[in-house]
Amino acid sequence: MKNLLKSILPHGIVELYREYYDNKVEHDIQVINFQVNNYCNSRCVMCDIWRKNDQENISTEQFRVVLQDALFKNVQHIGITGGEPTLTKNLLDYFQVAIETLPKVTGLSLITNALIPHQIKTTIKNISNICKSNDKSFSVMVSLDGINEIHDLNRGRKGNFDKAVDIINWLKEESISFSTGTTITKLNVWNMDQLLNFLRNNNIYGRFRIGEFINRLYNNTEEHTKIIRNFNEDEIYQLMLFFSKLEYNFETDETVKNTYRSIKHMLQGGHRLIECPYKKRNAINLDSHGGLAYCAPKSKIIGNMLEVSGRHLYAKNIKVLHEIEKKDCMNCIHDYHSDATDELKNMLEAEKRYRDLIKVSSYNQLKGKFSVAYSKKPSNKYKIFVVGWYGTETVGDKAILGGILDFYFEKYGMENIEVFISSLYPFITKRTIDELNVTATVVPVYSEFFYQEASSVNEIIVGGGPLMELEELALIAWAFNLAKKNENTTTIFGSGIGPLYSDEKKSIVQEILSLADHIYLRDDKSSKLAIEMTGREDVNNIGDPAINYINKMKNMIAPNKMNDKLSCYLRELTSEYFGHLNYEEYITFKDKFEEALAKNIIYLSNKTGMKPHFYAMHNFVIGNDDRDFNYNFVAKYFADSSVFIEDKLSNVENIVESMKSSKLNVCMRFHSVVFANTLDTDFLAVDYTSGGKINSYLVERNKANQMIEMINIIQDETVLYRTMMVNNLF
């Protein structure tokens, strides 16, 4: 019918109708993603462009004609990619055409694999110069998927990492704006922390994406399903940790942070939480033949702009975009940065509202006025709600939780108890209960659910950990306050007290202690302090709850002992333990200590022939991922030494195994000391708490002679070795 009408209607009327129809479809294309060619000299595992050997591409004059289309009248940025764009010998001319033809363009960019450094430098320098002379911004993205051989593996070319670093250093020297772009597949997932450390240490900004199935990369094949979005549970958890690290401690752009939040949501089985510039009709994909696509990942080519107006193609095929929106958009993990969806905005607003409540000042201001609506459902099970620092748990905290739950399961019977656990970062605690093989409901702290459960359960339990100088003391105070208002039981189970510096924090700890029906602490020093703060006599020292759980695991794991293995469980010195120092003094002390600690370990290793192995008691950015400390510590001080760094996830079982297989354990994290002693291993303890919890723990067990103070480490690079020999530990 359309063809019939076109054949009988005058040409002018047909064109008027087309103009009217084209105007009906709203769009505002501001970004073009242009593939200047469709061939590549990489062999990337997530892309098959290199297999196609497609040597055809539109000429610069054809490119000029295409860019003159009304579809592009508002374009502000054009990104030129490939293939590998620098393989196009006259690439400079395409940039020149874009500058001359796009009336509103302000910025241009290029992505490169860095494989031909000399050619790439010449090309980029020339492009940078014409952009400067035309007052246009220009930036380069260098593909970087890992350190050394990991990058080479993901990109399929030996020596590619060194060439990428060469290009990066040159871009720095030339003051050309650049960043790195990382695509994460199954092959490089465990190298992301090392890569991020490399970027930090070299003052490089980078962005990270999960590899996606993308039509223009020809990767919708069975072979690619093995490495793209095919992560096991450990890999997913590692990626959750990694994107959290980017969100909380690397990225500063809120839009990009939202991308990372969306990726985390999708890794957990959710849907996309950010918009897309293609979906919002602000961006378009143009291929090397003039083919137009609504988006790079999922759109088919809707027509060729050498034959038909792009504006008309866009309007005529709009059903294709609707179909993509319906079928693909919510499951697309590709990193097109755009606005947060209403769902994400609401999530962030709700979290902020409840986060503001978890401050000591907010608690003090609102505790007498705060109320929460809840319904107490009839149940024949005893409900416990474990609160504390969960959501940031170390391996030690996991053992604490295991010990507490074992106690209550034995007391009430596992079948008669219902467990709730509060969590500052719920994905962490969900992983913990999986590792402990228990059934529990994880309750987000920053939600109404937290206050409802605190009001309705039978017993609130502060589950280990120190009551120390932290704003999050407010969450414990809120839980106890609401429990007492509703005549429920409150228990402190195996916690320590301190360090405390401010009157505000001392006061709220005193209030928490006064609200507790039962106070069971982990050491004599904390018990005495609690009695002083409250005047109560019903304070008991039950030891650390982790001990019983470690003992349970002790005989279940029996690795072979390695007589040349020196295992180290170190941590970064953090400022909360140095409240008496200003920032400059703290940094100076920290640097001196770390250098001296390295010298001590090297001396001990050289004298005994033991090889240092570095393990992590904590994997989350909140509280500091010990793996990051280990990477930097080893890179700085052990360049000429043979060492092992564990880069995988830490749990109770593998820490027990690593300690029991070692000749000697050097412990710094508090619970590494608890583990090493409970497992009856030979160990030395470095007291970073300056007479605090490590000292208290060892004094009570008559093992203070195996503890070394930080000042002694700084003053004597042989003190670890001498303490080992004095105690007959070798």
* Rounded Cα distance, 444 and 424, in Å: 6
Mean pLDDT in residue range 377-393: 94
> What are residue 540's DSSP bridge partners?
520
Total Cβ atoms within 10 A of residue 254:
9
Contact 210, 203 (CB under 8 A): no
- Cα–chain center distance at 512: 33
Q: What pLDDT does 5 receive?
A: 52
Please give the backbone phi and psi of residue 611, each rounded to the nearest 5 degrees, phi first.
-95, 125
Given a cut of 90, whether residue 134 has pLDDT beyond it is: yes
Higher-pLDDT residue of 119, 4: 119
For residue 466, the SS3 value is strand
Mean pLDDT in residue range 429-448: 98
* Rounded Cα distance, 471 and 48, in Å: 51
Give pTM, 2 decimals: 0.94
* Rounded Cα distance, 168 and 477, in Å: 50
Question: Tokens 């959290």 label which residue?
Answer: 244
**What is the domain partition of the chain in residue ranges?**
22-340, 365-549, 560-726
The pLDDT mean for the chain works out to 95
Which tens digit of pLDDT belongs to each residue from 37-76?
A: 999 999 999 999 999 889 999 999 999 999 999 999 999 9
Task: Tell me which DSSP letter residue 95 carries.
Answer: H
* Rounded Cα distance, 243 and 245, in Å: 5
Which tens digit of pLDDT belongs to each residue from 533-568?
A: 999 999 999 999 999 999 999 989 999 999 999 999
Given a cut of 70, whether residue 484 has pLDDT beyond it is: yes
For residue 393, the SS3 value is coil
Contact 672, 665 (CB under 8 A): yes
Q: What pLDDT does 19 receive?
A: 54
Class of domain 560-726: alpha beta
CATH of domain 22-340: 3.20.20.70
> Which amino acid is it at 16?
L
Instruction: For residue 296, give the nearest of 267, 332, 260 by alpha carbon.
Output: 332
> Which amino acid is it at 515?
L
Q: What pLDDT does 379 receive?
A: 85
Question: Tokens 């608690």 label which residue?
Answer: 363
Question: Tokens 């100076």 label which residue?
Answer: 588
Q: What pLDDT does 223 receive?
A: 93
Give, in order, the Cα–Cα distances in Å from 34 to each of 14, 286, 323, 365.
31, 5, 23, 56
Measured over the CA atoms of residue 292, residue 293, residue 295 and residue 296, the dihedral's sign is negative
Assess whether the region 22-340 and the region 365-549 belong to the same CATH fold. no
Instruction: For residue 78, give the nearest of 143, 142, 137 by alpha carbon.
Output: 137
Percent of the chain with pLDDT over 70: 97
H helix count then E strand count, the chain: 29, 23
Given a cut of 60, whether residue 525 has pLDDT beyond it is: yes
Mean pLDDT in residue range 90-102: 99
Which tens digit of pLDDT belongs to each residue from 259-292?
A: 999 999 999 999 999 999 999 999 999 999 999 9
Fold of 365-549: Rossmann fold (3.40.50)
pLDDT band at 15 (very low <50, low <70, confident <90, very high): low
Given a cut of 80, whether residue 11 has pLDDT beyond it is: no
